[in-house]
Amino acid sequence: MEVAAVFLPLAGYLIVALFGRTIGDKGSMAITSIAVCLAMVLSIVVLFDTIGTEPETIVLFSWITSGTFDVAWALRIDTLAAVMLAVVNTISAMVHVYSVGYMHHDKFKPKFFAYLSLFTFFMLMLVTGDNLVQLFFGWEGVGLASYLLIGFWHERPSASAAAIKAFVVNRIGDFGFALGIFAVFVLFGSVQYETIFANVATLADAQFNFLGVEVHALTITCLLLFMGAMGKSAQLGLHTWLPDAMEGPTPVSALIHAATMVTAGVFMVARLSPLFEFAPVALGFVCIIGAATAFVAATIGLTQFDIKRVIAYSTMSQLGYMFFAAGVSAYNAAIFHLMTHAFFKALLFLGAGSVIHAMSDEQDMRKMGGTWRLIPYTYALMWIGSLALAGIGIPGVFGFAGFYSKDLILESAFGAHTVVGDIAFWLGIAAAIMTAFYSWRLLFLTFHGQPRADDRVMAHVHESPWIMLVPLMVLAAGAIAAGILGYSAFGGEGMHAFWGDSLAEAAFEATEHAHHVPFWVKVLPLVMGLGGIALAYLFYVQMPQLPARTVAAAGPLNRLFFNKWYFDEIYDAIFVRPAFLIGRGLWKGGDGAIIDGLGPDGLAATTRVAARRIAGLQSGYVYHYAFVMMIGVVVFVSWYLYAISG
């Protein structure tokens, strides 16, 4: 069953990739969607079967066996993997169905669905691997699928540029990840989770020479591995690809760049939590990076006008939350938020897709407005998504999904009572008010006020078909209920039974601390959320002239935020352009002028002159070379004789 849950999407992919032409558009869409829906059902069954049982590993066949380096294709099913399996398959199934409607006008439907299924397969391999190399396989595989889907509309130069950027920036992260895997192998003699976790305690104080410096082995290992997570999960520094990735079709943004692939980094840290627990410095780093990302991304989200980019920065910010939760050892809170976030962020993206669809492919919120009566379902669904994202609820009664998971994260950060925990808490609180603000800014700009699109577009605005709305409603159900239903298992009384051994013990301790924080800590996130909504209402409904005035007053700060803190410009100037320049310089200067100039060409020229002088040979090349070789041989032989006799 586990095998079927993982390989059904691959089967769907292969059928469409090989026979897509024969079975046609409808057949391709049906086969991939049915395969993934089946996989969804199976993986939910697997999840309920797995809770409370021992982890199970299904070895398929060996992969690489080189001396002691032994890796197999395997599926390791424990609670963590089963949760991911269920989340990935559920969101993927919804996105498949939604895309049937969304990609209605596209010429290359079989290709699109094939890629979606391929992505799903890689993601499932990523979460079920029993070793780091299979994790890496899935990791790079989802990167490939992401590359293909970002560049799906390859005729747009911006799309193929964004695709390359995504792949290469991720590769920078994977560079660190790969080194981390090597370090693990050197330390543990294995890359299997079982062996690593069993032996990690004995290596707690091991030292290790990395780049000539003696360092704490597990710290450097975890930092290298985390570099991979930073790339994949778009953490500050390696995040620049994610906003550009919005060039892909919107269902792709929902599935890959919001709900699943970008959370792979969080999954990795949780999966390796027994290892990270022995590297407190690395955990501190994870925490700080996460908190900084949550904050910076939120500031950028405040200023963007592209509806998808706002949600993209929101995703980045929420990923930051997950990481700082992991950084204070609250891995269960991180995965809880990963799960709830998958629902409401996929909902928001697909909802945004529905808006874009209705607005004749317009993405700029400045050209929207006044549409809520025309697309009421989408409007309601976007409200649900935003409420879940902002973490709104009534304490003790009911809350939307984010209310439980985000609060647990913030409480864990506070409950850690460490410096980094406190920093994360306050940055997280600041991000929370901004989150609510930009979410309602988006709602107000898109749906309220006077229509700013031209009449032709407005006349065409229409509600999406049911095939798109039904998946949205399923996701909305998740955004409403996932928090309240999951709380006990993920972070409440049931957590020990639920997680078993699939996370480090420290997670439970961190959660216990989180449960005992002061009352004001528990309500502050909610207050911030409500405050953000109120502010947005003030800015965009009550006093629409306020935003312009604020922007004018906060000139440089706004420019900084609007230009995404200039990361792209700086990277371009430091890395991209110099790489091309140096490459050209080495080619023309190094290869051309120096090596060839002093080597063959120079020799040839010199010989030509010498030959003409000495022997007056014909000027055919072959004599010149023969002559050089003769001289070379003579010189070498004499040097050689001299050397052995001396």
| Binding-site ranges for other proteins (CB under 8 A) | 61-69, 133, 136-137, 140-141, 144, 147, 151, 154-155, 157, 160-161, 163-164, 167-168, 171-172, 174-175, 178-179, 182-183, 185-186, 209-212, 579-580, 582-584, 586-587, 590-591, 595-596, 599-600, 621-622, 625, 628-629, 632-633, 636-637, 640, 643-644
SS (H, E, C) 425-478: HHHHHHHHHHHHHHHHHHHHHHHCCCCCCCHHHHHHCCCCCHHHHHHHHHHHHH
Identify the residue whose tokens are 């040979």. Answer: 617
Are 120 and 89 spatial neighbours (Cβ–Cβ below 8 Å)? yes
Query: In angstroms, rounded to a whole number, what is the distance separating the alpha carbons of residues 111 and 384?
Result: 32
**Measured distance CA(129)–CA(142) in Å, rounded:** 14
Closest CB to other proteins among 551 and 626?
Answer: 626
Q: Which is nearer to other proteins, 10 or 384 (CB)?
A: 10
Smallest distance from other proteins to CB 61, Å: 7
Nearest C-alpha neighbor of 224 from the set 278, 261, 174, 264: 174
Q: What does the block give as tokens for 627?
A: 């002559």
Dihedral class, residue 474 (left if φ above 0, else alpha if ψ from -120 to 50, else beta): alpha
d(Cα 237, Cα 499) in Å, to the nearest integer? 32
Q: How far, in Å, CA of 46 to CA of 56, rounded?
A: 11
Q: Which is nearer to other proteins, 157 or 556 (CB)?
A: 157
- CB 83 → other proteins: shortest distance, Å? 24
Q: Which is nearer to other proteins, 137 or 324 (CB)?
A: 137
Q: What angle do CA 241, 245, 246 make, to 5 degrees?
A: 135
- Nearest distance, CB of residue 176 and other proteins, angstroms: 9
Q: How far is the CB of 282 from other proteins (least distance, A)?
A: 17
Give the whole-angstrom CA distance, residue 250 versus residue 260: 14
| Distance between CA atoms of residues 512 and 508, nearest Å | 6
- Extract the tokens encoding 237: 């520094």
Beta carbon of residue 205, minimum distance to other proteins (angstroms, whole number) = 19
CB 328 within 8 A of CB 410: no
Q: How far is the CB of 63 from other proteins (least distance, A)?
A: 7
Q: Which element (helix H / strand E) includes 394?
A: strand 393-394
355 phi, psi to nearest 5 deg: -65, -45
The residue (of 550 and 618) whose beta carbon lies closer to other proteins is: 618
Distance CA 246, CA 310 (A): 10
All residues at 6 or more sequence positions from 510 whose CB lies less than 8 Å from its CB, including other chains: 328, 329, 330, 333, 412, 415, 416
Sequence letter at residue 473 = M
- Partners of residue 72 on adjacent β-strands: 62
Distance from C-alpha of 550 to C-alpha of 539, rounded to nearest angstrom: 10
Asked if 316 and 239 touch (Cβ cutoff 8 Å), the reply is yes
Beta partners for residue 112, in sequence order: none
CB of residue 200 to other proteins, shortest distance in Å = 19
Question: In terms of CB distance, is 164 or 551 closer to other proteins?
Answer: 164
Q: How far is the CB of 590 from other proteins (least distance, A)?
A: 7
**In the complex, minimum distance from the CB of residue 170 to other proteins, in angstroms, rounded to a whole number:** 9
Tell me the C-alpha distance between 485 and 404, whole Å: 10
Q: Which amino acid is at 61?
A: F
d(CA 197, CA 132): 12
Residue 132 CB, nearest distance to other proteins (Å)? 11
For residues 96 and 89, the answer to whether their CB atoms sit within 8 Å is: no
Element (H, E) at 64: strand 56-66
Least separation in angstroms between residue 632's CB and other proteins is: 6
**Min separation Cβ 310 and other proteins, Å:** 28
Strand blocks (E) in 67-156: 69-77
Instruction: Compute the least distance from the CB of residue 245 to other proteins, in Å.
Output: 15
Q: How far is the CB of 244 from other proteins (least distance, A)?
A: 14
In 156-298, which ranges are E strands?
A: 207-210, 213-216
Q: Which is nearer to other proteins, 155 or 455 (CB)?
A: 155
Shortest distance (Å) from residue 35 CB to other proteins: 20
Q: Which residues of 267-276 are buried (b: 16+ CB within 10 A; e: fewer)?
A: bbbbbbbbbb
DSSP-assigned letter for residue 463: P
